[in-house]
Amino acid sequence: MNLTKIIPVVLLVFMLGIGGIAWTFYSQNQELSKANQQLKSENAGLLQDNQQLKDQYNGERDKRSGLEEKLSVVSQDLTRLEDERQSLKSKLNEVTQERDLLVEKLSKSPQTQVSVSEPTSFSSSTSTSVGISEDHWADFVKKKAALEAKVDFLNKELFDAKSKMTQLDKDNKELSIKIDQLNKTKEQLDEELKFKERTLRVLSMDLVSEREERSSAVTELRKLRNENVSLKREIILANNEKLKLQDNLKSTMEKKDNLEGRISDAENVLKEKSMAFEDLQGRLEEAIVGGKRIVASESASVQLPPIIVKPETPGLRGLRGEVIAVNKEEKFVVVDIGEASGIRPGNLLKVMRGDREVATLEVIETRREISAADVREVAGGMMIQEGDIVISR
């Protein structure tokens, strides 16, 4: 009676322990799944930020290239303007020298006029000298007019050159200001580019770190899943073993009831024999005077046969059993032959249905009366079912 009370309690405690462990692993699995989803969303956000930074970096780099090209063009224009300025400056010097020469000639022209006119005043007596003076004077007037026109032309060119030099100086200053602005803009862009490169480097390091953490989390999740699968197998084996124990307990209880019934029958027979014996003993006392023969015969008739209870001898079990449970998701089955039949982990079994081979199994865990086996091969178009015959390969 104590055994029948202890076994259900032990099974209940065992099942509660297995259930608690399974619930703990399930909770951890859920937490890891949530953490994995969060890491995925954060990873997607970081990738998007990284792409935006890359696009911005490419845009700034293109802008910088454009500014450098523009700066190169401005530098070329500045060089060209400087060359033109030097050319105009040299031309201005030439014009200035030529003007000074003409001014010097003009300044000498009155003396020439005096020197020419004085002889005419003292030699008016002769017509030849007067004619020469008039020709010389006319030629001088022409030269003077030509020189004045040339001086005016040179003054105009000098004024134009000065105006152009002023405009070139103004353009040069504007270009210098633009170059300074472009240099400042270039420096700012360089600083922004360095900052963004540092930010991109930091984000890349964070992304690598998060990928490593995610990889470790995925590894832990895979490990927990494998442990969960192992626990499921343990639970299935425990349930099957529980069913087996319940069947054995039921069989034991039936045997016990049978033995109790036989004992009760034997007790009833014994009671009847005792009553018959007492009756015969009374009759014997009454008929004691009737002779020893009667007493002997009566005594012989009340001898009770011995009650013998023969123990049952268990039969040997061969390597032949049945499939009692099928787990299609995990691809393993439970059979009703175990260590008591000589089954060991690594043994190969065949699943038969009639005269057809359905599948090949490899034993992975064993108990006394049951075993768990992985499905290695399945015949085309066939599926393992409960009740299929299992034999040694």
Q: Is 318 exposed, middle or buried (0-12, 13-18, 19+ CB in 10 A)?
A: exposed
Residue 112's pLDDT band, with cuts at 50, 70 and 90, is very low
Range of 250-254, 258-262, 293-297 with top mean pLDDT? 250-254
Comparing CA positions, the residue from 72, 70, 98, 87 lying closest to residue 168 is 87
**Alpha helices of the chain — where are they, by DSSP H?**
2-122, 127-286, 292-301
How far is it, in rounded angstroms, from Cα 146 to Cα 150? Answer: 6
Give the phi and the psi of residue 388 in degrees, each rounded to 5: -65, 150
- What's the maximum distance between 2 C-alpha atoms anywhere in the chain? 236
Highest mean pLDDT among 29-38, 143-152, 374-383: 374-383
Residue 277's pLDDT is: 61
Q: Which residues lie below 8 Å from residue 155, measured CB to CB, with a gap of 6+?
A: 99
pLDDT at 3 (0 to 100): 64
| CA dist list (Å): 120 to 111, 115, 124, 329 | 14, 9, 6, 141
Give me the mean pLDDT over the 139-161 stretch.
79
Q: Is the pLDDT of residue 101 over 90?
A: no
Categorize the per-residue pLDDT at 337 as very low, low, confident or very high, splitting at 50, 70 and 90: very high
**Greater model confidence, 321 or 156:** 321
- Mean per-residue pLDDT, 296-314: 40
Q: Using only C-alpha atoms, what is the Rg of the chain?
A: 64
In the prediction, which pLDDT does 318 show? 53
Q: How far apart are the first and last CA of the chain?
A: 43
C-alpha 362/C-alpha 374 separation (Å) is 5
* pLDDT(175) > 70: yes
Is residue 127 predicted with pLDDT exceeding 60?
no
The average pLDDT across 155-159 equals 80
Give the mean pLDDT of 102-121. Answer: 54
Q: What is the mean pLDDT of residues 88-103?
A: 80
**In the predicted model, is pLDDT for residue 231 greater than 60?**
yes
Domain boundaries along the sequence of the chain? 20-123+130-224, 320-392
DSSP string, 73-136: HHHHHHHHHHHHHHHHHHHHHHHHHHHHHHHHHHHHHHHHHHHHHHHHHH-TT-HHHHHHHHHH
Tell me the three state secondary structure of residue 156: helix
Predicted confidence (pLDDT) at residue 34 exceeds the cutoff of 90: no
Give 240's pLDDT tier (boundaries 50, 70, 90).
Answer: confident
Question: Which of 91-100, 145-154, 235-244, 371-380 tops mean pLDDT?
Answer: 371-380
160: confidence class by pLDDT, cuts 50, 70, 90: confident
Q: How far is CA 114 from the centre of its chain?
A: 109
- Decide if pLDDT at 303 tops 90: no
Question: What is the structure's pLDDT at 370?
Answer: 93
Do residues 372 and 363 make contact, with C-beta atoms less than 8 angstroms apart?
yes
Per the model's pLDDT, the better-predicted residue between 176 and 309 turns out to be 176
336 band by pLDDT with thresholds 50, 70 and 90? very high
18: its two tokens = 């297995």
pLDDT at residue 330 is higher than 80: yes
d(CA 214, CA 35): 9
Q: Which CATH class is domain 20-123+130-224?
A: mainly alpha
Inform me whether the pLDDT recorded for 137 exceeds 80. no
Q: What are the pLDDT digits (tens) for 37-74?
A: 887 887 787 788 778 878 877 887 888 788 778 778 87
The top-level CATH class assigned to 320-392 is mainly beta
pLDDT > 80? residue 310: no
Confidence (pLDDT) at 68:
78
pLDDT value for 98: 80
Q: What is the pLDDT of residue 94?
A: 82
Task: Tell me the average pLDDT across 355-372.
Answer: 93
- pLDDT of 374 > 50? The answer is yes
pLDDT-above-90 percentage for the chain: 15
pLDDT above 70: residue 214: yes
Mean pLDDT, the chain, rounded, equals 76
2-122 and 127-286 helices, crossing angle to 10°: 180
